[in-house]
């Protein structure tokens, strides 16, 4: 059965107190809406429609960055969740299959839960609502059940005391046949406490048409929605807890788990060791048995089996460490391939470069990759030995088994097996230091005498 996702992301997020649209605030290094998108994407949807409103341009740009198949539709006036879904009507006209409605600000719904909803659809429910048992039902919509059947959803503001006593609440996630969904939405009215078109009213409309609505439930933690900075921080904590548990499950050692921060997509292989205070930005893969030492920051990089990173290392996007490569303290690597067993151990910047197998990069080596306008590449051959404090002025190539003398400014290519020496000749002047100090001290004394 074909599937379409409809992601609601038009809300203003007033309580965030922010210039940034709520769904663009980051959770686990990805915009908030990307999490619902990723859960829904696990169902391999044929269509994805995002309903944007507040900050629609920025939301649209972010959506396209994540997946250029996403269709963004605009909800000009926020007249309620039913009205929001209605904005996808034209985009999905003639779509033959199920539609799943997700909220952009509700990031923890799992693919398994969505699959359970699809299963309920196959089992004969025309409309499936995702509910949860709320520890504190607050102002959530309440699910009024009639045995297995869902009779209606009543919003808190419209509910009687008896209905408010119900603890089975609405998460907001809906699954229904797409054409049926829009048909039901056509039957909504806004005659309620909020004067809004409630999506939740489709349940009653469905029953009036002789259709069957059911509820599927999930753990309350999945339904956590974000409305404030405080809730965003709580969600981040929840995401980190999930990622840490996942790492343990996969056979990863986290020496001090509470101090390691993952991105939503961090992948770490079995028997890798992550020392304290390590931060992972998006798009990082760490292979089996690698070790990430304390206080390192990694994003957009790939660390192969047995490689060692840190302490205090920074791997930026495009850093690729082959097996057993070593990147040590106060080293930054960006858009560079470090081949097997190569070492960059101390205080270096390696950017836009390739470093050959078993090459050794001395302390304080810098690839001067940027001329202020263009970036240039540096190539360092296998087994090359780069002396400490070498400046490699790119574009430049150091051959296999070649060498640079300490302090060399490399401004032209060094062929295989050759040595580059390019530093000012040093002189030693006997007795000069003593004489100089005497002169300076005398000058200081004379000044004081005045
Ligand atoms: C909604 C549900 C409620 C449920 C709760 C779960 C309705 C009427 N109520 O209430 O039963 O318990 O979610 O959190 O559906 N949105 C738009 N455009 C709009 C209105 C909303 O895009 O015009 C988006 C919001 O950005 C948000 C989501 O829809 O992501 C839910 O809207 P919100 O106003 O938070 O609904 P609640 O009142 O919390
Ligand atoms: Ca809400």
Q: What is the mean pLDDT of each run of 10 residues along the chain (450 residues)?
A: 96 92 97 98 98 96 95 97 98 98 98 98 98 97 97 98 98 98 98 97 98 98 97 98 98 98 98 98 98 99 98 98 98 98 98 98 98 96 98 98 97 98 92 97 92
Report cis status (omega within 30 of 0) of the bond before 6: no
Which-ligand-closest: CA of 170?
A: 1
Query: What ligand 1 atom has the least distance to the C-alpha of 104?
Result: 30
Which-ligand-closest: CA of 81?
A: 1
Close Cβ partners of 373 (under 8 Å, ≥ 6 residues apart): none
Q: Is 33 in the pocket of ligand 1 (CB under 6 A)?
A: no
> Nearest to residue 413, comparing CAs of 376, 373, 370, 362?
376
Nearest CA to ligand 1 atom 6: 171
Can you give the pLDDT at residue 449? 83
d(CA 74, CA 441): 76
Close Cβ partners of 416 (under 8 Å, ≥ 6 residues apart): 381, 399, 400, 401, 402
Cα separations in angstroms, 98 against 24, 95, 421: 27, 9, 69
User: How far apart are the CA of 200 and the centre of ligand 1, in A?
Assistant: 9
Q: Is 83 in the pocket of ligand 1 (CB under 6 A)?
A: yes
- Of 5, 11, 140, the residue with max ligand 1 atoms within 8 A of its CB, to mutate for a pocket test, comes to 11
Query: Inter-axis angle of helices 32-41 and 56-66, to 10 degrees?
Result: 40
Question: What are residue 161's phi and psi, to 5 degrees?
Answer: -60, -40
Radius of gyration of the chain (CA): 30
Can you give the pLDDT at residue 73? 98
d(CA 63, CA 50): 8
Can you give the pLDDT at residue 424? 83
For this structure, is 346 an active site residue?
yes
* C-alpha 347: how far from chain center: 28
User: How far apart are the CA of 225 and the centre of ligand 1, in A?
Assistant: 10
Q: For strand 71-74 and strand 47-52, is the pairing parallel, antiparallel, or unpaired?
A: parallel
Q: Is 8 in the pocket of ligand 1 (CB under 6 A)?
A: yes
Written as one string, the DSSP assignment of 29-50 is TEEHHHHHHHHHHTT--SEEEE
Contact 303, 289 (CB under 8 A): no
Can you give the pLDDT at residue 1? 84
Contact 448, 441 (CB under 8 A): no
Question: From the candidates 264, 297, 302, 346, which is the catalytic residue?
Answer: 346
Q: Is 131 in the pocket of ligand 1 (CB under 6 A)?
A: no
Contact 221, 240 (CB under 8 A): no
User: How far apart are the CA of 201 and the centre of ligand 1, in A?
Assistant: 13
User: How far apart are the CA of 402 and the centre of ligand 2, in A?
Assistant: 63
Question: Which helix H or strand E contains 337, and what residues bound it?
Answer: strand 331-338
> Nearest to residue 44, comparing CAs of 5, 80, 73?
5
């Amino acid at each position: 059965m074909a599937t379409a996702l409809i992601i609601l992301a038009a809300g203003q997020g007033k309580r965030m107190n922010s210039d940034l649209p709520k769904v663009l605030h980051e959770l686990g290094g990805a915009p908030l809406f990307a999490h619902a998108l990723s859960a829904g994407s696990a169902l391999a949807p044929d269509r994805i429609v995002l309903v944007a409103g507040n900050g629609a341009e920025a939301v649209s740009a972010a959506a396209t960055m994540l997946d250029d198949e996403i269709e963004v539709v605009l909800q000009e006036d926020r007249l309620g969740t039913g009205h929001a879904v209605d904005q996808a009507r034209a985009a999905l006209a003639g779509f033959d299959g199920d539609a799943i409605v997700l909220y952009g600000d509700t990031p923890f719904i799992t693919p398994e839960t969505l699959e359970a909803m699809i299963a309920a659809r196959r089992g004969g429910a025309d409309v499936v609502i995702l509910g949860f048992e709320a520890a504190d039902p607050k102002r959530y919509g309440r699910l009024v059940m009639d045995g297995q059947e869902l009779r209606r959803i009543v919003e808190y503001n419209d509910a009687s005391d008896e209905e408010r006593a119900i603890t089975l609440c609405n998460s907001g996630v809906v699954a229904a046949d797409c054409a049926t969904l829009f048909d039901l939405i056509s039957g909504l009215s806004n005659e309620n406490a909020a004067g809004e078109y409630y999506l939740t009213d489709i349940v009653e409309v469905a029953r009036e048409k002789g259709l069957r609505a059911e509820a599927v439930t999930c753990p309350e933690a999945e339904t956590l929605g974000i409305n404030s900075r405080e809730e965003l921080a709580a969600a981040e904590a929840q995401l980190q807890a999930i990622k840490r548990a996942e790492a343990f499950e996969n056979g990863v050692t986290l020496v001090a788990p509470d101090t390691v921060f993952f991105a939503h997509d961090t992948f770490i292989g079995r028997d890798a060791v992550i020392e304290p205070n390590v931060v992972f930005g998006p798009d990082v893969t760490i292979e089996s048995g690698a070790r990430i030492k304390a206080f390192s920051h990694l994003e957009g990089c790939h660390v192969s089996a047995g490689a060692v990173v840190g302490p205090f290392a920074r791997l930026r996007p495009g850093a690729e460490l082959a097996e057993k490569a070593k990147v040590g303290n106060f080293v930054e690597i960006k858009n560079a391939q470090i081949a097997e067993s190569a070492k960059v151990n101390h205080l270096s910047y390696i950017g836009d470069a390739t470093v050959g197998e078993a090459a050794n990069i001395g302390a304080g080596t810098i690839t001067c990759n940027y001329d202020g306008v263009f970036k240039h590449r540096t190539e360092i051959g296998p087994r090359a030995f780069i002396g400490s404090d070498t400046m490699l002025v790119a574009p430049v190539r150091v051959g296999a088994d070649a060498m640079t003398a300490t302090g060399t400014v490399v401004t032209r290519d060094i062929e295989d097996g050759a040595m580059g020496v390019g530093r000012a000749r040093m002189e030693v002047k006997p007795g000069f230091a003593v004489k100089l100090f005497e002169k300076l001290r005398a000058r200081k004394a004379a000044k004081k005498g005045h």
